[in-house]
């Protein structure tokens, strides 16, 4: 039987081509993507703010993610296609040996308002979308939720059939808004210019990303998504009050530009 372990031992298993993992910070002091890494030597979290405001979009994936106060840990799902209620979904505590708290079909997860609440009765999970974005020849995993996610969906739905959507860069500016006393910031996206050199990098990395995801389809288990690298998951326990995605918000999964990277599987 082909397993995750012997595929890796044989050198056949491909690692994710993603080089950087960042999440949108929406608070009043936010308005940017931030990379957060744990320094094992100093035993501290190190944060880096991304300063660029343009990228090539090569695809997206979806998760449910949140913070469980009972466990005092971030919990997250495997990648999800929100349009497929019959797919297998696993939800676990973040980390290499994180406790699995749910395994079943997505249709059963859709009642998450009742199923996944913490000791205060508040929802644990939010809809969460990752954009796979290329900037200066490097591949970024950019996490969106709440108002940032809503802004992306609005942009995607009006631009996805335009040739320029994949041929040109995507740019964004920052908008500030308020919900009661809560101030939050979110990106407003638009189509930018065509840069041929950057487009070449985007197509190359898009092919690598597609090859990486395709190997999960070849695993024999119905739970093959559980075998994703832990590096595929993003720390996101900084929920902003008043900045939560609507229940059941459908996140886009983009088709890639060329035939070689025709369609991401999630």
CA 61 to CA 254: how far, in whole Å? 9
Question: Which one, of 68, 79, 73, lies nearest residue 116 by Cα?
Answer: 68
Most confident residue range from 34-48, 67-81, 91-105:
34-48
CA 250 to CA 62: how far, in whole Å? 9
- Please give the pLDDT value at position 236: 36
Please state, in angstroms and as integers, the Cα–Cα distance from residue 168 to each residue in 153, 203, 219, following that order. Answer: 18, 12, 35
Residue 160 scores a pLDDT above 80: yes
- Please give the pLDDT value at position 81: 75
- Please give the pLDDT value at position 187: 97
How many folded domains does the chain comprise?
Answer: 1
Residue 257 scores a pLDDT above 70: no
Domain that holds residue 155: 16-248
In a domain, 9, yes or no: no
- Please give the pLDDT value at position 136: 94
Residues 172-203 as b/e (b if ≥16 CB within 10 A, e otherwise) read: beeeeeeeeeebbbbbebebbeeeeebbebbb
Residue 148 scores a pLDDT above 90: yes
| Region 178-187 average pLDDT | 93
In a domain, 10, yes or no: no
In a domain, 261, yes or no: no
Tell me if 85 sits within 8 A of 107, measured CB to CB: yes
**What pLDDT, in 10s, does the model give residues 212-256?**
887 765 443 333 334 444 444 443 333 333 333 333 333 333 333
In a domain, 1, yes or no: no
**What pLDDT, in 10s, does the model give residues 107-147?**
888 766 667 887 788 888 888 899 999 999 999 999 998 89
- Please give the pLDDT value at position 21: 92
Query: What is the Cα Rg of the chain in Å?
Result: 18
Percent of the chain at pLDDT > 70 equals 75
Tell me if 18 sits within 8 A of 141, measured CB to CB: yes
Question: Which one, of 148, 175, 119, lies nearest residue 251 by Cα?
Answer: 148
In a domain, 30, yes or no: yes
- Please give the pLDDT value at position 244: 36
In a domain, 193, yes or no: yes
In a domain, 8, yes or no: no
Q: What is the mean pLDDT of the chain?
A: 77
Token reading at 45: 């979290």
In a domain, 102, yes or no: yes
- Please give the pLDDT value at position 260: 33
Tell me if 170 sits within 8 A of 191, measured CB to CB: yes
- Please give the pLDDT value at position 8: 52
Looking only at Cα atoms, what is the longest distance across the chain?
Answer: 57
């Amino acid at each position: 039987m082909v397993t995750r372990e012997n595929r890796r031992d044989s050198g056949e298993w491909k690692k994710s081509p993603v080089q950087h993992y960042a999440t949108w910070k929406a608070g009043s002091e936010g308005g940017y993507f931030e990379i957060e890494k744990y320094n094992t030597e100093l035993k501290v979290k190190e944060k880096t703010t991304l300063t660029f405001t343009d990228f090539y979009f090569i695809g997206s994936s979806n998760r449910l993610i949140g913070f469980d106060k009972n466990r005092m840990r971030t919990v997250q799902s495997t990648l999800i296609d929100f349009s497929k209620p019959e797919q297998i979904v696993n939800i676990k505590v973040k980390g290499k040996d994180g406790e699995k708290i749910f395994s079943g079909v997505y249709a059963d997860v859709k009642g998450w308002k009742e199923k996944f609440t913490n000791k205060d009765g508040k929802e644990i999970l939010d809809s969460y979308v990752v954009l796979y974005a290329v900037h200066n020849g490097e591949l970024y995993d950019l996490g969106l939720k709440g108002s940032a996610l809503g802004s992306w969906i609005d942009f995607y739905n009006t631009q996805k059939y335009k040739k320029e959507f994949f041929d040109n860069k995507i740019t964004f500016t920052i908008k500030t808004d308020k919900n009661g006393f809560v101030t939050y910031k979110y990106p407003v996206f638009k189509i930018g210019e065509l840069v041929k050199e950057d487009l070449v990098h985007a197509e190359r990395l898009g092919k690598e990303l597609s090859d990486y995801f395709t190997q999960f389809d070849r695993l024999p288990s119905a739970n093959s998504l559980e075998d994703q690298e832990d590096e595929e998951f993003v720390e996101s326990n900084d929920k902003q009050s008043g900045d939560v995605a609507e229940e059941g918000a459908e996140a886009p999964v983009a088709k890639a530009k060329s035939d070689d990277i025709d369609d991401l599987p999630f």
